[in-house]
Structures are given as structure tokens and as C-alpha cells.
Structure 1
Amino acid sequence: MKLYLDCIPCFQRQALEAARMVTDDEEKQEEILRRAIKELLDLNWDRRPTEIAHKIHGMVKEMSGDKDPYREVKKKYNDLALALYPALKEQIKRSNTPLLTAVRLSIAGNVIDFGASSNFDIHRTIDEVLVKEFAISDYKKFVERLERARKIIYLADNAGEIVFDKLLLETILSRYEIGKIIFVVKATPIINDAMYEDAIYVGIDKIPNIEFMEIGAGSDSGITRESKTFLDMLKESDIAISKGQGNYESLSNVDGIFFLLMAKCPVIARDLGVEMGDIILKGS
């Protein structure tokens, strides 16, 4: 997905929010924000939004000396989601359409996204998403691909959200003969994106036939979502499931992916042709 002008003030908001995470010193916060504004003016706006976000958050980490400003946020929402897990597992079990319920819950978990907003209510979101109509639904095609699949690549998005992904993967494995699941997480911290340590913390490693892959967030980060190595892996998989806005921004022009997300910002909503707050299961 291309960068929209509306992305620029969002990057400024993210920089200030991250600065406030790492210091209470308003002078330091201002220094970080001013540097972010300068970086945004100097960067090439033809780059993908995810690449610019990587630069801005890298700058915040460099200036603050804190390699993971959202460390406590990630733990908080991992713990919150784990507390919800037993009841949600039971809800899927009781459902007349367990896979669809698990898909909906996975999308509900996507609200835990500090890149889009820190103002959300996960309990209310779950209730709403379980009954909300999809703005875009390729669910039938999704099921058809799962029926033939033996290898899944699953691109995770945020900490906390990955507990909801765990529910979806467990539901898929209970219905289909999947031989391998590659669970893709970030190699380095950026906002509240899930990393390997988060996946282990919430028990993703206990899912049968699971493997992990770590990818970078920017073009200078080794294997990334946009690198040929990773794109070739996507093509070789039987089905690729992509969670959230960031993965959509990077991979929306790639064929063969199912995007599961909530439209949490006007830019994503506009690009998808939906309204803010809509839920999406879109096959590319």
C-alpha cells in the first residue's frame, strides 16, 4: 500500500506517544518529537508506511536509549488476553460455526494496536465483532483453501492479539490436516508488534507442527515482508494468513494472501473501500 498524506500526522502521534512511554521529561519528549518531524520532512514519501514507521521508531529508541519502549504494554495485553483465553476457547467450542467464530475473535484481537490508537476496549470489541457483518468477506474461499492446505504461513501482528491467533490456529488444526504452520513475528521491537518472546510467553510454541520465523520491519533489517526470500516463501505455502494493518500495508499488492483485520484508521479504510471499525477477511 502506498503512503497517504494522512499517514504523516499519525507518525508524529506515534513518536510522541513512544517518547512519553520512555520518559516523563517534557523537554526530552519535545526533542524526540522535533527530531521525528525533521525525519519525516527528510524521508522519501514514496516509501511504504511500514518503512517510514521503522525509521521513526528506530529514532525514538536511539534517542531514548530504550530498545523496547512498549515492553510493559506488550506484557499487559499478553496477560489480559491470556486471562480471556479459557472463556473464548469455550465460546468457540459451543459455537455452531466454530471456525467462523475463531476468525471473528482473531479479528477482534486486532484492536490491540498501539500504532493505530491506544484508546480501545477489548471486551466491547469482542462483543461487537462476534455479531458484526463483514465489510469484505472471502470466508468461503478461505475455507476452500484450508481444506486443501498442508502448510500455512501466519503473519502475526501485535502482542496480546496473538492469543486470539492461537485460538484460530487451534481451531484450524482441530478441523484440517495441517502439517506445518510457520508463525511469523518481528525480529526487533517496533510499537507493540509481537516478537518471538511474546509468542513463547502466550504458548504459541505449544501448538502442534508450529515453526517460527522472525522478520525485520524495515528495508535495512535483513529478511522483511517485502524481501524476495519471504515473498517466495509465501508463494510456496498452501495458504498465507496475514493479520492487521501493518502487514496489509506491506503486502496488499501480493497475490494469494488472506488478510484478517479491523480498519482502525481512515487511510486503511479508504484503501479498502470500507468504513472505520469495519471487519475484513479479504483474499488477494
Structure 2
Amino acid sequence: FNPPKANVEIHKMLKKESGINDPFMKDKDEQITFSSKIISYLGINPYDDSIQNLKHLLALAAYGNGLDPLVLGYNLNYKMLEDDVKNLKIALNDMDRFINALESGKYKYILYLLDNAGEALFDLLLSENLRVRGINILFAVKPPHETDITLNDFARIGGDLSRVFELKEYPIFISRNSLPNVDLIISKGLLNFEAYILNMNSFKIDVLTILKAKCSVIADYFKIPLGSYIIRLYQPIN
């Protein structure tokens, strides 16, 4: 049984049976409105190239993964998320390892696997900070799937369409997509993480996984409290 693949197939069936290609637009609109509000409240400057700001933007990328209404047993509570952002803590934190590798010049070209539409606003801020540091970023989005960001969503939140492509099959870690030649994959969210863990021995490339432990399976896997934020860098030995 392959949970990520089953998730994708179930959603494809839902779209086919309902005749609605993007059935969660209302949820995505709510996410985007919420994220815009939080970003305005924080007054973030993505072009500040201090290490402190980079760490803040990494933490916000993890925080954004809380914007997911479709994980079994997880309650998307906007009020609780508002409170979280005031004292954001990362339970599993490989920021320093990632930043050390970044500053060594190891990561020049990054593939960024986006997840939910609302959290992508935080991902765009992080990507702008990385671009200031001379890093090339290529985004990957899915066709309509749950509340995940699509090409249309990417455009409406201000993303640069010259730096994004749509996956024909997904998640990328179990699909037949040929990976572009990159130094690092930033992998957002549960579906991408599960697919990577199931197939990690097939990928001889560094992967930075960023997500929230929204279900007990992930919390138990990492031995952390439910609801914790995760930034974990995997560096396979070639």
C-alpha cells in the first residue's frame, strides 16, 4: 500500500465524479487571505540578507504548512495559527546545517516543491531571500489537487511564471518525472514527505523537508509532539 499514490488517485476520482476540476477553491481563497494578513502584520522584508532573517523565513515556510484543512484528525484553526506565529518554534531544526551548506556554495540551483496555496505566499518570501543570495529557484506545482497551489494560483499570488512548471505526475518522488539538474530539493508538506521517505534511497540529492506534524503518523515517526514544526535536511551519502 502506497499512501501518497492512493491520495492522488482518490482525489483524481473525486474530480472526475464531481465534474469540478478544482473543488477546493473556497478553501484556497481563505488560506491566501489569511497568509496575506499574517505577512502584512509581520512586516517582513525578504531582501534583508541577514542570517536571522533567513532563519525567520525558513520558520515561516514551516508555519505555512499548517494551512491544510484536509489532513485526517487535524483541525485547521486560524485563531490558533495567529497565536503560533507570535512565538514560532521549530521542534526539529536543521536550519544551521542547511545555512552552512548554502554559504559553502553547495546549493546554486534549487527545485522548490510547493504545497498548499496559502502557504506558498511564505515560500515566495523565502525564495526571494535565497535569490538575493545568488541562488536560482525553480518551482514545481501540481494540477488541481486538494488545496495545493496550481499554476493559476501561483500567478494570482504574484509568482513569476517563468520560474515554475506543472508536474504531470506527482508527487515527484514516486512519479516518472525526470528531475531537472539541481543541487537541492526543498520539499513542502506531508504528501511530498511521505513519498520521499518511501523512495529516499533512489534519490542521491540533498532534500530539505519542511512541514508541520499535523497527524500522529508524522509526529510518531519523528518522536515529537503533534503539531510541531519540522525543518529536516537529508544529505544522502553518494
TM bucket normalised to smaller: 0.7 to 0.9
1:121 aligned to which of 68, 73, 77: 77
User: RMSD between aligned alpha carbons?
Assistant: 2.6
CA gap 1:96/1:251 in 2 versus in 1, 3 angstroms: closer
Aligned residue for 1:111? 66
Q: Hey, what does 1:241 align to over in structure 2?
A: 186
Alpha-carbon displacement from aligned partner over 1:29-84 (angstroms, at most 9, x marks no partner): xxxxxxxxxxxxxxxxx22x121111212222222222211022112222332233
1:84 equivalent in alignment to 2:38: yes
**Structure 1 unaligned regions, length at least 5:** 1-45
Contact 1:109–1:122, Cα closer than 8 Å, also in 2 = no
The 8 Å contact of residues 32 and 118 in structure 2, kept in 1 or not, is answered as yes
Kindly tell me: are residues 78 and 101 of structure 1, through their superposed partners in 2, closer, same or farther at Cα, counting changes over 3 Å?
Answer: same
Q: How does 1:165-176 map to 2 (within 5 A)?
A: 165-174=123-132, 176=133
- 1:20 corresponds in structure 2 to none
Aligned to 1:106, what secondary structure does the other structure show?
A: helix
In 2: Cα distance, 1:105 partner to 1:181 partner: 18
State how far apart, in whole Å, the 1-side matches of 2:63 and 2:44 are. 16
Q: Partners in 1 of 2:166 and 2:153 — Cα distance? A: 12
1:226 aligned counterpart, secondary structure: coil
Q: Which residue of the partner structure matches residue 148 of structure 2? A: 193
TM-superposition CA deviations, 1:108-157 (whole Å, max 9, x none)? 11111123167323453254255344322111111023221221111100
Instruction: Note the alpha carbon deviations across 1:145-186, whole angstroms, 9 max, x for none.
Output: 322122111110001110111111122223x112x2111100
Of the two structures, which has the highest relative contact order with CA contacts closer than 8 Å and spacing of 6 or more? 2
Partner of 1:212: 164
Verify the 8 A CA contact 2:109 2:182 in the aligned structure 1.
yes
* Partner of residue 122, structure 2: 164
Distance 1:163 1:119, change over 3 A: same
**Alignment correspondent of 1:259:** 209
Partner-residue secondary structure (3-state), 1:152: strand
SS at match of 1:269: helix
Deviation at 1:244, TM superposition (A): 1.0
Letter in 2 for 1:181: I
Report the equivalent of 1:226: 174
Greater mean deviation of Cα atoms: 103-112 or 138-147 = 138-147
In 2: Cα distance, 1:281 partner to 1:152 partner:
16
The number of equivalent residue pairs is 225
Q: Distance in 2 between matches of 1:119 and 1:217?
A: 28
* Aligned-partner Cα distance in 2 for 1:191–1:211: 23
Paired with 1:192 and 1:244, the residues of 2 have a C-alpha distance of: 12
In the alignment, the residues of structure 2 paired with residue 70 and residue 229 of structure 1 have an alpha-carbon distance, to the nearest angstrom, of 25
Counterparts of 2:89 and 2:9, CA distance in 1 = 36
CA distance in 2, matches of 1:104, 1:55: 31
The TM-score with structure 1 as length reference comes to 0.71
**Corresponding residue SS for 1:78:** helix
Q: CA deviation at 1:264?
A: 0.3
Letter in 2 for 1:84: I
Name the CA distance, whole Å, in 2 between partners of 1:107 and 1:277: 11
Aligned equivalent of 2:230: 280
Residue 134 of structure 2 aligns to which amino acid in structure 1? E
Secondary structure at the counterpart of residue 90 of structure 1 = coil
Cα pair distance change 1:111/1:145, threshold 3 Å? same
AA aligned to 1:177 is G
Q: Which residue of 2 aligns with 1:177?
A: 134
Structure with the higher helix share, 1 or 2: 1
Q: Secondary structure at the match of 2:185?
A: strand
Gaps of 5+ in 2: none
Q: Secondary structure at the match of 2:186?
A: strand
8 Å CA contact 1:114–1:191 kept in 2: the answer is no
CA distance, structure 1, for counterparts of residue 101 and residue 51 of structure 2: 21
The answer to whether the 8 Å contact 2:169/2:177 transfers is no
